[in-house]
Amino acid sequence: MKNLQMLITCCFLVLLTACGREGGGTAQTPVASEEITESITQMPDEQESEAMPENMELGITVNDVYYPIPVSLKQLTEDGWKISGQTPYFLEPFVGEEYYETRADWSLTEDGQGILPGGSIIRLLEKDGVLLEVTITNQVSTGSDTPPQKIEDGVVDSMVVFYDEKHTSIKLDNQELNHVTQDYLIERYPSSDGWTHLPNTYSDHPEFGISTEYTIENDLNQYNNSITIYFDLENRPFKVSVWNETPLDQVELPPQT
């Protein structure tokens, strides 16, 4: 009988202890959880006023002149830009000149005057000694009976530029490029707005002069958009590539001033 009473008493004490622990956990866990949840959910809200709006256009400011992307090649030529005879040379890591010899004229017509439907070519645009590497695209859908588009009627949907004696100021979203950090990119282009961050390090290849190739992507309006910033071996940004495949006729251009 005594053994039975002792057994019942032990079971009661074990049960009481377990309940006490559970009750203590219940009293503490929601407080910590609410704090964490509040911290996480407030971050996007706090950034919402600063984050890029969903339909905001992409572009680059070079030497205090803003270039929206995409933009018609005609608009650029009317502003004084012309296609340079130089071969595009803004090489990326692990990409040699052979790539540009092929990719630059990938969709060029045999007569060299047009771009095949849905295709693109790479060219350098030049104005007053300043060079922009651009992708000129024929945004007309592909089709067996669709004629090529003249190069001058193409759309510039990407630009690449880097600092040198002719490119003294490069701004991305009104931020000077050499002031951009990886933390800034995470805050400015949050995942809550659909941005995907894809940093790629080249620490094993210092010969390329690049420590990190940092790409952020977004499929705004179901079209691919990306920004790639290149950091040198001292982790300073020195080159940027902006790509926006949104059809030009679907982009709201800023009013001319």
125-157 pLDDT per residue, tens: 999 888 999 999 999 876 667 899 999 999 999
77-127 pLDDT per residue, tens: 999 999 998 877 666 666 767 777 777 888 999 999 999 999 999 999 999
What is the structure's pLDDT at 101? 72
**Encoded tokens for 206:** 């210092």
What is the structure's pLDDT at 150? 95
**Encoded tokens for 175:** 């931020």
Query: Residue 158 pLDDT more than 60?
Result: yes
Query: Residue 46 pLDDT more than 60?
Result: no
Going from the C-alpha of 172 to that of each of 45, 89, 123, the distances in angstroms are 23, 22, 21
Dihedral sign for Cα 57, 222, 226, 88, please: negative
What residues are paired with 21 via a beta bridge?
Answer: none
162-219 pLDDT per residue, tens: 999 989 999 998 999 999 999 999 999 999 999 999 999 998 889 888 999 999 999 8
What is the structure's pLDDT at 102? 76
What one-letter code names the amino acid at 130? V
Q: How far is residue 108's CA from residue 124's CA, in Å, rounded to a whole number? A: 15
pLDDT bucket at 54, cuts 50 / 70 / 90:
very low
9-40 pLDDT per residue, tens: 444 444 444 444 344 433 333 333 333 233 22
**Encoded tokens for 41:** 């959910």
- Which residue did the predictor score with more confidence, 41 or 243? 243
pTM (2 decimals)? 0.74
What is the structure's pLDDT at 155? 97
